[in-house]
Amino acid sequence: MHAPERDPIPFNRPFTTGAEFELMQQAIAAGHISGDGRFTKRAHELLGAITGAEDVLLTTSCTHALEMAAILLDLGPGDEVIVPSFTFVSTVNAIVLRGATPRFVDIRPDTLNLDERLVEAAITDRTRAIFVVHYAGVACEMDAIDKIAATHGIAVVEDAAHALGATYHGKPLGTFAPLATLSFHETKNIQCGEGGALLVNDAALMERAEIIREKGTNRSRFFRGQVDRYTWVDIGSSYLPSDLLAAFLTAQLEHFDDIQARRHRVWSAYATELSGWASEHGIGLPTVPAECGHPAHLFYLLLDCLDSRQRFIAHLRDRGIQAVFHYVPLHGSDLGRRLDPAAHCPVTDDISDRLVRLPLFPGLVEADQARVIDAVRSFSG
């Protein structure tokens, strides 16, 4: 067994810009650390500039932003929602919590996104929405999906948890549907430990979105002087994050270009240095179509089988490097089988067994990345 290096290389290390504590101290000094304070508003402005979304609402997580989207669509028992099986459970939980039923559709073997060619066949007279996931920040085929949705009169929600800064035909992801969600979990490009955002691109949904986010009250309208008192008017929950977290997030967003440049440096080095080895050994690398601008969110390899993937992870672990697999298909889970027993997603099953993600974070220095690359190349299968 190869002896581990002295300093292990983690899969992820949360990156800080150096300005986070200063802005959090400013929030404390201002005497307002609950939600919708100065830094919440600043983060909204910055996210609007990056994404081009019409309106932005910070949330406590991307999970909660997805739940808000499901409430805004009035999903309920008897409704069906098309969703990829290859995603994090939050995407589907938002649907199930409303009493609706997920209909799992397989992914494309190239981008690992929802296969738009299979969507129309999955639509029934009970289908209310399509939840798409931009895997690794590479866009789904939104032109085709939006066209299908419009033809059948169903809504689209973009789960853009991986996709801040990504584009499709030059337009930012998160703006191709009435509602989209972002994540600021510590593994994401921009992070505040835990956090998210709901992007609202349909002005008719914004007032209700604010109400749902504020526990079902019209509190936001009250503080803007639009009503003389606030009261309970709809369902909702406490989806509003502290202004302390918003201050941390603001520091990240103000350094967005630098963070992205660092991530792209790491991603590009992997792509360049591993392409020959991957080709020689029949290993798959990320596919980024020409019309997609990706945000360098993650870099994955596709080994030839589950056994090879597990040996590869162990090979790197023995060298002090943490590499991890990704989603376990939801359609094959205990709950997934009960909710959609007829789901058939062979590409998802295959990809899930073979995919492994390499360390990628803004603070990954060149010497450590070189160690990762050397370790990868030393794996012979």
For residue range 362-380, list pLDDT tens digits in order: 999 999 999 999 999 999 8
- Taking the CA atoms of 285, 292, 258 and 178 in sequence, report the sign of the dihedral they define: negative
Tell me: pLDDT of 345 over 90.
yes
Q: What is the third-level CATH fold of 257-377?
A: Aspartate Aminotransferase, domain 1 (3.90.1150)
Q: What is the third-level CATH fold of 20-255?
A: Aspartate Aminotransferase; domain 2 (3.40.640)
- H/E element, 252: helix 243-254
Tell me: pLDDT of 163 over 80.
yes
Contact 216, 234 (CB under 8 A): yes
- Which residue is associated with the tokens 């992820």? 12
5 pLDDT band (50/70/90 cuts)? very low
Angle at 73 between CA 344 and CA 226, to 5 degrees: 160
Give start and end residues of each alpha helix (H) in 53-141.
62-72, 89-96, 119-122
pLDDT tens track for 98-147: 999 999 999 999 999 999 999 999 999 999 999 999 999 999 999 999 99
Tell me: pLDDT of 2 over 90.
no
From CA 314, how far away is CA 274, in angstroms rounded? 19
Total number of residues shown for the chain: 381
pLDDT tens track for 21-61: 999 999 999 999 999 999 999 999 999 999 999 999 999 99
Indicate yes or no: pTM above 0.75.
Answer: yes
Q: What is the mean pLDDT of residues 349-372?
A: 98
Per-domain boundaries in the chain: 20-255, 257-377
Contact 243, 34 (CB under 8 A): yes
Q: What is the mean pLDDT of residues 61-85?
A: 98
Q: What is the mean pLDDT of residues 189-198?
A: 98
From CA 242, how far away is CA 377, in angstroms rounded? 45
